[in-house]
Amino acid sequence: MNRRQFLCHATNSLLMLATPTLMMAHATDKPTRKPKHIRLFLCGDVMTGRGVDQVFPYPSDPHIYEPYVSDARKYVEIAEEVNGSITKPVDFSYIWGDALKELERVMPDVRVINLETSVTRSDDYWPDKGIHYRMHPKNIPCITAMGIDCCVLANNHVLDWGYEGLKETMQTLRDVNVKTAGAGSNWDEAKAPVVMEVKGKGSVIVLSVGMESSGIPQQWSATDKRAGVNLLADLSNRTVQRIREEVQAVKRSRNIVLVSIHWGGNWGYEIPDEHIQFAHQLIDIADVDVVHGHSSHHAIGIEVYHDKPIIYGCGDFINDYEGIGGYEFYRDDLSLMYFLDIDPANGKLIGLEMVPHQIRKFRLNPASKQDVVWLKNTLHREGRQFNTRVELNNDGTLALRW
């Protein structure tokens, strides 16, 4: 087999270790956005390490510790073989492509992403872990170029380069005024919610949690004396009560509470019953308004439960998987931007716009009409169990009805 075939075969199993991971309206195609509604931007996993990091102005040492690939530049070569050359170095806004235009159009009040990459110079890679994602701290302008307000970090890559790597990741984000949730120097810091004020409207409270089912090692759980992530032991009633207490401690009038959760496997559309039950309990018992799920490399079903949105898996938003075969059926090259309008008076969903893109040359490009229709049909099919349906708007966005 040729080099590309070899690398595709060799890295295919490694993707199983990596985290992947519309517009909603009642009656009209475009819900009217009232001045007091808060608009959120959410997406799936943002992976700016490995191959993506290598095309930025300040690439990290390309040596990586994977069983079959030892040089991160191989992922750039694979992508270029499929979609053409990438002129390097790219500018810091390059990867976001047309997504930046959509942000200007929609103008969300708060922007939250799951940053699935350690931002560090550390060489202290985590042993016995198949994949390690790292971006050089000097490339952090790629995050500020997107205007991100908060990075959730309770995922299975934030500690890829050890405790020093985690420390530098958090400090680098703080230095550019990006808030973090879900990880910290101890248990109290890891579970602490982030509160973001939206002038004249209210505030958004973000809690970030993760599950071992997404690939987070149990050893990464923060303790009173050890840094780490906010790792849930299980999805039991006791865990729901713990989150309820944390929400009650901070939630006030006109607060929207978002729980961002890294859970489940990378591939497949089936949503475990325990995920559905847990999401419902977060809303019924813990007074959560938005459940933001990720880990799946492709988008999965969406539910609106008691007028509260549950995105079980957003799918990947940025990755370096171009040209790696084996899971083409799931179309992990297709990304979605999720724009949610929430009424802070009661936390109810007013509308949610989803804008499709395709990753090509490590960049978000407009999805073709054929791909948009594929996404519509797929999410429509997966939403049937939740009594939701997906429609295509005239401008190419997708709309979920409930």
Per residue in 202-250, pLDDT (tens digit) is: 999 999 999 999 999 999 999 999 999 999 999 999 999 999 999 999 9
Q: Tens digits of per-residue pLDDT, 346-357?
A: 999 999 999 999
CA distances from 13 to 66, 67, 169, 266, 342 (A): 11, 10, 27, 11, 39
On the question of pLDDT at 33 being above 80, the answer is: no
What pLDDT is recorded for position 12? 47
Lookup result for tokens 């607060």: 255
- Residue 103's domain spans which residues? 3-401
Half-sphere exposure of 259 (CA within 13 A, CB side): 30
Number of domains in the chain: 1
| Token pair in block for residue 224 | 């009173």
Structure tokens at 187: 């248990």
**3-state SS assignment for residue 384:** helix
Mean pLDDT of all residues belonging to the chain? 92
CA dihedral (300, 46, 165, 258) in degrees, to 10, reads -60
On the CB side of 367, CA atoms within 13 Å amount to 25
Q: Is 234 exposed, middle or buried (0-12, 13-18, 19+ CB in 10 A)?
A: exposed
3-state SS string for 304-351:
EECCEEEECCCCCCECCCCCCCCCHHHCCCEEEEEEEEEECCCCEEEE
- In angstroms, the Cα distances linking 41 to 29, 106, 395 are 19, 9, 19
Residue range 129-144: average pLDDT? Answer: 97
* pLDDT at 5 exceeding the cut of 50: no
What do you get for the CA distance between the two ends of the chain, in Å? 49
**Where is pLDDT greater, at 5 or 370?**
370
Tokens for 59?
Answer: 């690439």
pLDDT at 329: 94
Pick from 250, 262, 231: nearest CA to 288:
250
Q: Which amino acid is at 219?
A: Q
Residue 61 DSSP code: P
Residue pLDDT, tens place only, 42-57: 999 999 999 999 999 9
Structure tokens at 68: 């079959």
CA angle centred on 231, ends 229 and 235, rounded to 5°: 160
DSSP-assigned beta bridge partners for residue 354: 338, 398
Q: What is the CATH number of the domain that holds 300?
A: 3.60.21.10
Retrieve residue 76's tokens. 């750039």
Instruction: Give the C-alpha separation, 230 to 228, whole Å.
Output: 7
Q: What sections of 155-295 are H helices per DSSP?
A: 162-175, 187-191, 237-250, 273-284
Q: Check: pTM over 0.95? Answer yes or no.
A: no
Element (DSSP H or E) covering residue 83: helix 73-83
Question: Burial of 372 by CB count in 10 Å (0-12 exposed, 13-18 middle, 19+ buried)?
Answer: buried
Tokens of residue 253, six digits: 């009038």
Our CA dihedral for 278, 284, 286, 287, rounded to 10 degrees, sits at 130
Name the least confident of 1-10, 92-101, 261-270, 316-325.
1-10
